[in-house]
Structure formats: structure tokens, C-alpha cells
Amino acid sequence: MSDAIETRGLTKYYGEAAGIVDLDLAVEVGEVFGFIGPNGAGKTTTIRLLLNFLQPTRGSGTVFGMDMTADSVAIRSRVGYLPGDLALYPSMTGREFLLYFSRLRGIDTAAATTRLAERFELDLDRRIKEYSKGNRQKVGLVNAFMHEPELLILDEPTGGLDPLMQQEFATLLREVRAEGRTVFLSSHYLPEVERIADRVGIVRQGHLIAVDTLDGFRTKIQSNLSVEFARPADPSGFAGLRGVISVEAHDDGRLLRLSVSGPQDAVIRAAADAGAIAIHTQEADLDDVFLSYYGPGDTESGSGG
Amino acid sequence: MTTAILIKSLRDRRRALIGNSLGLVALVLWLGALFPILRDNQGFTDIMERVPPEMLSAFGTDLATFLTAAGFLSAEFFALFAPLLILIFVISAMVAETATEERDGLMDMVLSNPVSRRRVFLEKAGGVAAAALLMVAVITVALLAANPVFELDLPVAGVVAAGLSLWLLGTSFGAVALLIGAFTGRSATAGGMAGFLALLAWFVTSFSGLLPWLEGAGAVSPFTWYREPNPLIAGFGAGHLWLLLTTVVLLGVAVLLFDRRDIATERAALPDIKIRRRARSRVRQPRAAWLLTDPFRKVIWDRRRSVWAWGGGLGLLSLAMFSAWPALAQDADALAALVTSMPREVFVMFGLTNPEAIVTPAGFVSSRSHQSIGPIVVIFFCVRGVSMALVRQEGSGVLDLVLAQPSSRSRVVASKLAAVALAAGLVVLIPTVVALLADRWWETELGIGPILAASAGLYLLGLFFGGLALLLWAVKGTSLPAVRIAGIAALATFLMNGLGALADGLRPIRLVSPFYWYFGDNPPLAKGFEPSYFLLLAGTVAMAWVAVVLFRRRDTSV
């Protein structure tokens, strides 16, 4: 069975500015894939390429084994899409809009629409121009989910949603995954990705720089360990151990702070031998992962959308 | 598969469709009713005989033809007004459906559905074309109905052929707009270029008889295919085929271009080469940085194009009126005879309460530049200026951002208002300068004083209705259609002025009409600065003051 999304050397230049360069990406069927990177890194470019809004400069891609460009209509019938900056017809009501779009799909989604609207506590009978930002986003979400697509392509999906609705959205994504459907989730809001993604790809300045599971990332980057001792310990005994980047002694050596990358077994063994009474691990979250790939001050560079 | 896109495209046209159809039907019926009166009028025939044939050919007619109903309607309706309205309708609708939706990110949404680009594009264009066809059908039916009532003797096939020709002219330039939009993805470019090309084609066809160097170009102008030979008389001809072919070919190319192009939106902008060139220089000053320092200058900057367009238009109108006078002056007697023989009510209803004045240069020039088209343009400019600077900005939330700055509300409103007033002043200034020069050149001897006074009155009339729009907005914000109400008030008071002059019993209703304060019973160019102009000034100042006071304590809405 082919991947939900697969791209080979996918590249898009805008004139000389790079949108995305040589993207090799594989998203498996049934997973939630988080696509993260700062503004302008190439997330939206990638998504708009997948939907054939943009013509690739070179390279190719498939969705469910179908060619991104040639079979776009067939692909779009199996995809639900939520753009990063949602546009809706302002003079239509939410219901009219969803009815119009279900007709463009040629299917009846009335039941699903009502169910989703209830779930998101959305009043469908008001004009879109009267909706708050959050309610507009809900219309966009209902539109993306109403035809129960096999693949959801969501660009910054929770913008404007309150925490309760973000929770509801995460629950919905878990259900989607449980049904074996696939989610491609682009975001720079990391807690959202952390909550739900199985695997994460990090994109920077048009290049995909790393793909891994969240746990995989965690073990790759450094964690911070605080080790307490009953009596002062010698910091130099830890400095040379495998994975240790730095050691700081506090409290006359009764407390050592260590930065460790990779497996921590050597440190733990040495600490036990030296008479440690407690070890506190501050586990890396996605923010740390993200920041380890982007030095400070690097987050707003790059070009393309 | 459904035709949901086509139906939506057609449905979204319904308001414009109804408005345009009503206007065109009214015009057709008015012209139909007017023709028998003119035909039987010796003064009219005398004048028409002295009009240079070249001038008639500019309206696609000649004397013998013009004196038939078909020729008259062709010149008065099918040569200019009908194409003007249908072209504005079709071009703006085609652009709204395609390039504007693309810019707003709506094309992304529509295309995320399993429909091909080709289909989306063709259905959208088809909806607009269907709306235009409905509009043409309404006109055709109105003409066919007027035919026996006013004994116009129009051939039925001719009426249908003229209607279809009009429709095909609209679709041709609609396809031009689609093509440019499909190529560039920019709505302003698509609408502007298509409009410009339509104007150019009209010019080429109208003047190819007059200017020998235009003869070759005349043959390839869609306007030539549209009206030569005159379909109202000659029926179906090769012109229809050429227009149809133009539409089909341009549409075909547009679809092919759109099928392959990157969809651009403002929301996910495609950085183009221009942006990167700017990015190279480290600190980039925005265009006209000195103009963007406060709300006053910002509004002036935003209005700069309109000022040139509307002021320039009024200048041209002024020029045309002055230049036409010497020829008419030679036939002053015939003109006077025509005016006296025409039903007086026709003039009065349109604000010319002293029709005899039209045989003087002041009356003749005033009739268009100060008593009909001039006020329409200046009032429109002022009301729209208020709309763009305040009403729309409140609606889009930009006003909240401006008001978040540390300056008082009254200051923001007052400076925006002052900017609109200054811009409107420039719009009036351009035709005033033209009039001052033309007055010397054609020796109409109106004098500097009356010209300046007439312009001042025109300006104050425009500001008055701008002030009214401002007041309505200040009271209720965006929940009230301030702009539309101000427009309706202008139309209503204009008609009140005419009605009041028609019947003595209705005279009091004239007194409250700003148009009466301006027109009085004498052409503005024939008099100096009237005391009643102070009423316009006082009214404007009072409304603006109340508006500022009210707005200071009103909730803003988004």
C-alpha cells in the first residue's frame, strides 16, 4: 500500500526566492504528521503544492499513489483542507457556505455538518461576516471534516479557537486516527502538535531538516538533569562521561546540574555510585526540540510562504 | 456533478442585474417616448441638419438614419449608454468572480474541492454571461413592447440582433478581463486594462470616420463589429460572428492560462522578483513615506487616483461643452425654437427650471457641467470619500487600529474629513481651471467671477452630501447604510427641486432642497456667489460638527 503523501525532490521557487527545496517526505496512512517550522519556512508552500494550487518548479509528489498534478481532482475528492488564513464568502451564512461546498463535492453532508457544528458549538445560521474569528475557523474546520476525507491537510488549524475547542479538536483528530485516516498538520504552535502528532517533520528556510517521532527527537537532544547528593560530589567525575555536555556544581557539590544528550545510563550509574539521593530530569518538550534546530534569532528568516 | 458554481455566480449578480435592467429599461422607454416628439419637431430637424456629419458618425449614425426611430435609438442608446452599462457590469463581474476571489483566498477554497480548474473558471464566466444575457433580454423585451406603443416601426429581427450584438460585445470584453486576470492574477490590472481596451476600441470605432489614420484600426475594433452595419436596421451580420469568435478564442486562452498557473492569494502571497529586489536594500522606505505620516495625508494618498480620474473627467466635460458652443451659437435661433417647442416639464424635471437659458453659453455649459453630470460626480466623490476613509475602515476593523493610537477621536475624524474635502476641492479645481482657460479661448465671456462662484457652489453641494453621509455614519456606524442613504437623499432632493418648480402648490418642497440652494432659477455660471450658497456651507459645517460630537461617544463596531 502506498503512502498517504510522498514527495520526491519537490521544489518550488518564486522567481529566485525558494519556497521549498528538494523535499523528500513520506506520510504513512493512518498517522498524524506534524509539519513544523517558523513563519515563511515553506509549510504553506508545501501544502499548496500538494493541492495543485502551485506548479512545482521540479520534483514530484503523490497522494495515495496518485500524481499530485495530473490526478489532482481525484486527490481532492479524498482530501479535506483547511487553509492557514481562511477565506469564506462573507455574505453567506455558515450553512449556505457548507451547503455550497458540499454541492461542489457532489455529496450530501447535511448530517455530518449538523453533527460537527454541534460538536464545535457553532451557530450555522448567521452570516459569516458576523462571526468572530474563532467561529469562522470552526466553519473552516467543519468544511474540512464534513465529507469524512481519508486525508486531512490542516494549516494552522487551531488559530482563534479557545482552549476548550482546541481540546475538542484534538479529540476529533484522535478519532480520525483511530479510524485509520491520515492527518497532515502544519503548525508553529507547538503544544498543538505535541498533543497529537505521531511524527514530526521540521522545516527551515525551505529545507526539511529532520523527521522523527517525538520520543526520537527527545532522545537526540540534550536534557537537563539535577542530581542531589548526601555529601559533596566531585563534578570532574561526571565531566568525561558519555553524553555529558556540561556540569555545574552548586551548594558545595551537593547539587550537580548536567546537560546530557542521548542515553543517560552512564550518568545515572555514576550518580548512584557517588551516593546520589535524588535525580530530577527536566524532560525536553517540543519547544526545546524546535529551539535546538533553530538558534535564537533564526526563527524569522527564510522566504516563501 | 452539479452546476452549483454557475448558479452562485448568476445569483450573486442579482442586485446589479436588477438595478442595471431597471435603469436601461427606463432609458429605452424615455427615448421611445421622446422620439415621436422630436421627429415631428421642425426646430430639431433644422438643428440636426446643421450638425457636422463627422459628429454624427462618431455616434455611428448619419442624418437620414438619425431621423428614423432605429437610427435615433442606435445613436442615443446602443452607441454609448447601453454598451457603457453592460461593459461595466460584465467586466467588473468577471473580475469579481475570478481575480478578486483569487486575491482574497477564496479561489483556494473553491479549488480544494474535487472540481477541475477549467470547470470552475468556465462556470464562473458562464454565470456572468447568463446574467448579461438576462439583462439584454429585458432590454429587448422593453424595446419590443415600446415598438407598437410609440409607433417606432423597428424591425423585430433588428431588435433581437441589436440585443445579441450588445451581449456579445459584453462577453468579448468580459473575456478580455478574464484573459488578463488569468494571466496576471491581479484584479485591478484585469479590470483596468479591460476597461481601457474597451474605451480605446470605442474611440477607434467612433473616430475612424473622422481621422484617416484610424481607418485601418477601425476594422479590427470590436465596437465596429458591434455596430457596423447597424444591427437594429441590418439584423444579423458578420459582426456577430466576429464578436462570438473573439469571446470564444479569448476565453479558451484564458482557461488554458488559468489551468497551469500558480494560484496567488494575498493570504499566501507569492513573493515575486520585485519584493526581493526591495529586500536587498536593508531598510526599505515605503512609497511616499512623507504622505503616510497621519490620517489626513493617508486619505489624500488613497484618493490620489480618484482625484485625477474624476477631476480629469470633469475637465474633459467642461472642455467639450465650451468647444461645442460656437457651433451651436450659429444656430441659436433654431435651438431656441427647439427648446420652446419641447415640453417644458422635461427640462424642469431635470433641474433646468429656466430652459430658455440653455441658448446662452452660461446656460449651455452649466446644464451639463454644473447642473447634471458635475453635481453627480462631485457628490459621488464626496460620499465615496467618506465611505472609504471612515465607514469601510470601521467595518474592516482598521479604524479601531487607528483609534488605538494616542490621538483623540475628534481629531482623527476631523483630519480624515478635511482630507476628503481637500481631495474634492482638487476634483472641482481641475474643471475650473479648464473652464477659465476655455472661456478665454472660445470667447464665451462668462468671466472669472461667475466661473469661480459656480465651482464654489458645486464644491459646497458635494461637501453637503458628504457631510450627510458622515452624519449618518456617526449616528449609527456600519449598521446603517450611510452611503446608500446619502445617495438616495441626493436623488430625492434633486427631484424635489424639479417637482417644486413644476407645480406652484409644491413650491415649498423646493426650498429644503440643497439643489435649489445651488441652482435657483438661473444657471450657476450666469450668476455670482449667491447668499444661498452659505446655506450649503452652514449645513455642511453643522452636520460635520454634530457628527464629530456624536462619534466621540459612540461604540465602534467591526
A163 domain-assigned: yes
CB-side neighbour CA atoms (13 Å) of B455: 23
Domain that holds residue B174: 4-280
The reported pLDDT for the residue numbered B558 is 66
Choosing from B255, B280, B305, the residue where a domain stops is B280
Helices B448-476 and B373-386: angle between axes, nearest 10 degrees? 40
pLDDT of A191-224, one tens digit each? 788 888 999 999 988 999 889 988 888 777 777 8
Q: Are residues B21 and B162 in the same domain?
A: yes
List b or e across B205-238, with b for residues whose CB sees 16 or more CB atoms inside 10 angstroms: bbbbbeeeebeebbeebbbbbbbbebbbbbbeee
Of A17, A53, A85, the CB nearest to B276: A17
CB B93 within 8 A of CB B13: yes
A298 domain-assigned: no
Residues of A within 8 A of B261 (CB-CB) are 55
Q: Are residues A22 and A54 in the same domain?
A: yes
Q: Count how many pairs of residues, chain A against chain B, have C-beta atoms within 8 Å.
A: 92
List b or e across B90-111, with b for residues whose CB sees 16 or more CB atoms inside 10 angstroms: bbbbbbbbbbbbbbbbbbbbbb
Q: What are the distances in angstroms from CA B355 to CA A236, B37, B325, B346, B520?
A: 109, 17, 16, 10, 13
B149 domain-assigned: yes
* Angle, CA B551 vertex, CA B548 and CA B554 arms, to 5°: 160
Q: Are residues B240 and B368 in the same domain?
A: no
The reported pLDDT for the residue numbered A243 is 80
Residues β-bridged to residue A60: A8
Contact residues for B418 (Cβ-Cβ < 8 A; gap 6+) = B296
Q: Are residues A258 and A199 in the same domain?
A: no
CB B526 within 8 A of CB B360: yes
Pairing state of beta strands A182-187 and A151-155?
Answer: parallel
Confidence of residue A63 (pLDDT cuts 50, 70, 90): very high
Q: Are residues B41 and B182 in the same domain?
A: yes
Contact residues for B172 (Cβ-Cβ < 8 A; gap 6+) = B222, B243, B246, B247, B250
B558 domain-assigned: no
Q: Are residues A154 and A41 in the same domain?
A: yes
Quote the ipTM score. 0.79
Q: What are the distances in angstroms from CA B185 to CA A54, B103, B108, B264?
A: 13, 7, 13, 7
Q: Are residues B238 and B313 in the same domain?
A: no
A302 domain-assigned: no
- Cα–Cα dist A136/A122, whole Å: 9
A98 domain-assigned: no
- Cα–Cα dist A4/A163, whole Å: 30
Pairing state of beta strands A32-36 and A79-82?
Answer: unpaired
Strand ranges of the sheet holding A5-14, from the earlier edge strand across to the other edge: A17-27, A5-14, A58-63, A66-67
B268 with A305: Cβ contact below 8 A? yes
B4: contact with A, CB 8 A cutoff = yes
A96 domain-assigned: no
Choosing from A178, A199, A217, the residue where a domain stops is A217
Chain center to CA of B160:
27
Q: Are residues B60 and B98 in the same domain?
A: yes
The reported pLDDT for the residue numbered A71 is 92
Q: Are residues B386 and B520 in the same domain?
A: yes
Record the cell numbers describing residue A139, joined without a space: 466553519
Chain B residue closest in CA terms to A46: B268
Residues of A within 8 A of B257 (CB-CB) are none
The reported pLDDT for the residue numbered B269 is 47
B181 domain-assigned: yes
The total number of structural domains that make up chain B: 2
Q: Are residues B472 and B497 in the same domain?
A: yes
Choosing from B218, B247, B280, the residue where a domain stops is B280
A86 domain-assigned: no
Residue A199, classed as helix, strand or coil, is strand
Q: What are the distances in angstroms from CA A151 to CA A32, A59, B126?
A: 10, 22, 32
Chain center to CA of B483:
16
Residues β-bridged to residue A154: A82, A185
Q: Are residues B127 and B250 in the same domain?
A: yes
- Cα–Cα dist B415/B398, whole Å: 16
The reported pLDDT for the residue numbered B280 is 47
B263: contact with A, CB 8 A cutoff = yes
Q: Are residues B226 and B365 in the same domain?
A: no
Alpha carbon distance, N-terminus to C-terminus of chain B? 38
The reported pLDDT for the residue numbered B502 is 74
Question: How many residues are present in chain B?
Answer: 558
CB B339 within 8 A of CB B354: no
What tens-digit pLDDT sequence spans chain B (558 residues)? 578 999 999 999 998 899 889 988 988 888 888 888 777 777 677 777 766 676 667 666 777 777 788 888 887 788 878 998 999 999 999 999 999 999 889 999 999 999 999 999 999 999 999 999 999 999 999 999 988 888 888 899 999 999 999 999 999 999 999 999 999 888 888 998 999 899 889 888 877 766 677 777 888 899 999 988 888 888 898 999 999 999 999 999 999 999 988 887 765 444 443 444 444 444 555 565 665 567 888 888 888 888 998 999 899 888 888 887 887 777 777 777 767 766 676 677 666 777 778 788 888 888 888 888 899 899 999 999 999 898 888 887 788 888 887 788 888 898 899 999 999 999 999 999 999 999 988 888 888 999 999 999 999 999 999 999 999 999 887 767 888 889 889 988 988 888 787 777 778 888 889 999 998 888 888 888 889 999 999 999 999 999 999 988 888 876
Of B106, B269, B276, the CB nearest to A16: B276
* Angle, CA B210 vertex, CA B206 and CA B214 arms, to 5°: 75
Record the cell numbers describing residue B149, joined without a space: 406603443
Of B1, B112, B269, the CB nearest to A81: B112
The DSSP element (H or E) to which A32 belongs, if any, is strand A32-36
Q: Are residues B257 and B395 in the same domain?
A: no
Q: Are residues B166 and B248 in the same domain?
A: yes
- Cα–Cα dist B206/B214, whole Å: 10
Alpha helices by DSSP H, A14-125: 43-50, 72-76, 94-105, 110-119
Q: Are residues A185 and A246 in the same domain?
A: no
Alpha helices by DSSP H, B14-113: 14-39, 42-50, 53-58, 63-66, 69-73, 81-95, 101-103, 106-111
pLDDT of A258-280, one tens digit each? 888 777 888 888 888 888 888 88
CB B536 within 8 A of CB B518: yes
B288 domain-assigned: no
Tally of CB atoms within 10 A around A252: 10
Chain center to CA of A285:
13
* Angle, CA A66 vertex, CA A60 and CA A70 arms, to 5°: 65
**Peptide linkage before A163 cis (omega within 30 of 0):** no
B287 domain-assigned: no
Chain A residue closest in CA terms to B262: A54
Under an 8 Å CB criterion, which residues of A touch B? 14-17, 44-45, 48, 51-55, 72-74, 76-77, 79, 81, 83-89, 100-101, 103-106, 143, 303-305
Q: Are residues B352 and B203 in the same domain?
A: no
Of A87, A104, A303, the CB nearest to B115: A104
| Average pLDDT of the residues of chain A | 87
The reported pLDDT for the residue numbered A168 is 92
Of B336, B337, B350, nearest to B501 (Cα)? B350
The reported pLDDT for the residue numbered B58 is 66
Mutation site, A53, A81, A146, interface B, largest B CB count within 10 A: A53
Q: Are residues A164 and A246 in the same domain?
A: no
Of B115, B268, B271, the CB nearest to A303: B271
Mutation site, A13, A14, A46, A71, interface B, largest B CB count within 10 A: A14
Q: Look at the block and give the residue holding cell 557539590.
A: A253
CB B324 within 8 A of CB B470: no
A134 domain-assigned: no
Q: Are residues A203 and A180 in the same domain?
A: yes
Record the cell numbers describing residue B221, joined without a space: 475594433
The DSSP element (H or E) to which A261 belongs, if any, is strand A255-261
Q: What pTM was estimated for this model as a whole?
A: 0.75
CATH number of the domain at A238, please: 3.30.70.100
Contact residues for A257 (Cβ-Cβ < 8 A; gap 6+) = A224, A225, A226, A247, A248, A250
pLDDT of A223-245, one tens digit each? 788 889 888 888 888 888 888 87
Choosing from A161, A186, A217, the residue where a domain stops is A217
Of A183, A185, A190, nearest to A289 (Cα)? A190
Of B113, B116, B270, the CB nearest to A105: B113
The total number of structural domains that make up chain A: 2
Residue A288: pLDDT over 80: no
Mutation site, B9, B112, B119, B558, interface A, largest A CB count within 10 A: B112
Domain that holds residue A274: 222-283
Residue A11, classed as helix, strand or coil, is strand
Record the cell numbers describing residue B45, joined without a space: 430637424
